[in-house]
Structures are given as structure tokens and as C-alpha cells.
Amino acid sequence: MVRWIASHSAQASRLSFTYVDRGLLDGSKSFPGSESWTASVREAGEPFTFGFDPDGLDHYLGERGMRLLSDVTTADALENLRPQLSNVSRPPSFYRVALAEVRAARQ
């Protein structure tokens, strides 16, 4: 999908997407409070099955014609956008939001 977007979009087009930190799925990272979130989506019939490693996302996107502009947890994104909501229940830190941009058009 990322490769298709990069090849069918104008240079500097942007893509924003959310994803699950792969460390949650493979057990290599601990995320306090994640059990209730994973149980909830599993019970709804939509278990988390795919994720990215945040440390490798820039490389992954780069190989597909895009460059990573930002990548933060959804909790940090909420705090940055609406600091007055800091007392609201925070989203989980394993859930992330990224912004990528199409590099040069492919020839």
C-alpha cells in the first residue's frame, strides 16, 4: 500500500496513519495497561495482528518512496494537540501516529 501511494501521488504528498508498536505483538516491549486494550479488540473480533517497529519505520518507508516526518505515540499526539485535556484518560503508548511524505516522483 505504501509503495502504491508513493508511486501514484505527487511529490511532497503526505500520508498520516496510525499503527501498533510491534513490540506489543511479539512481547519484546511492555506497555502498562495494554491488556484491556488488546482484550477489547480481540473480543470485538479485530485483534491486533500487524505492527511496525518504530525504530525501523523510517527505513521501511524510505524503501517504498516515502520519508518519515514524525512518529509519536497517540498519547503524546493528544498532549501536543490538546494539552488542556491532560486529565482525560490517555490512549495507550503502544498505539502510534506517523506522518510521511512522498519523496521524489518515480521515473
Three-class secondary structure of residue 21 per DSSP: strand
- Residue 17 inside a domain? The answer is yes
Q: Tell me what pLDDT residue 85 has.
A: 63
Structural domain tally of the chain? 1
Average pLDDT of the chain, as a whole number: 90
3-state secondary structure of 50: coil
Confidence of residue 92 (pLDDT cuts 50, 70, 90): confident
Q: How confident is the model at residue 87 (pLDDT cuts 50, 70, 90)?
A: low
Please, are residues 40 and 70 in contact by the beta-carbon 8 Å criterion?
no
70, 89, 36, 56: CA torsion to nearest 10 = 10
Q: What range does the domain containing 81 cover?
A: 2-102
Name 46's Cβ contacts closer than 8 Å, sequence gap at least 6.
none
What pLDDT is stored for residue 75 in this prediction? 84
Confirm if 9 and 102 have CB atoms less than 8 A apart: yes
Alpha carbon separation from 14 to 9, 10, 72 (Å, rounded):
9, 9, 16
- The answer to the question of residue 107 being in a domain is no
pLDDT in tens, 16-52: 999 999 999 999 999 988 999 999 999 999 999 999 9
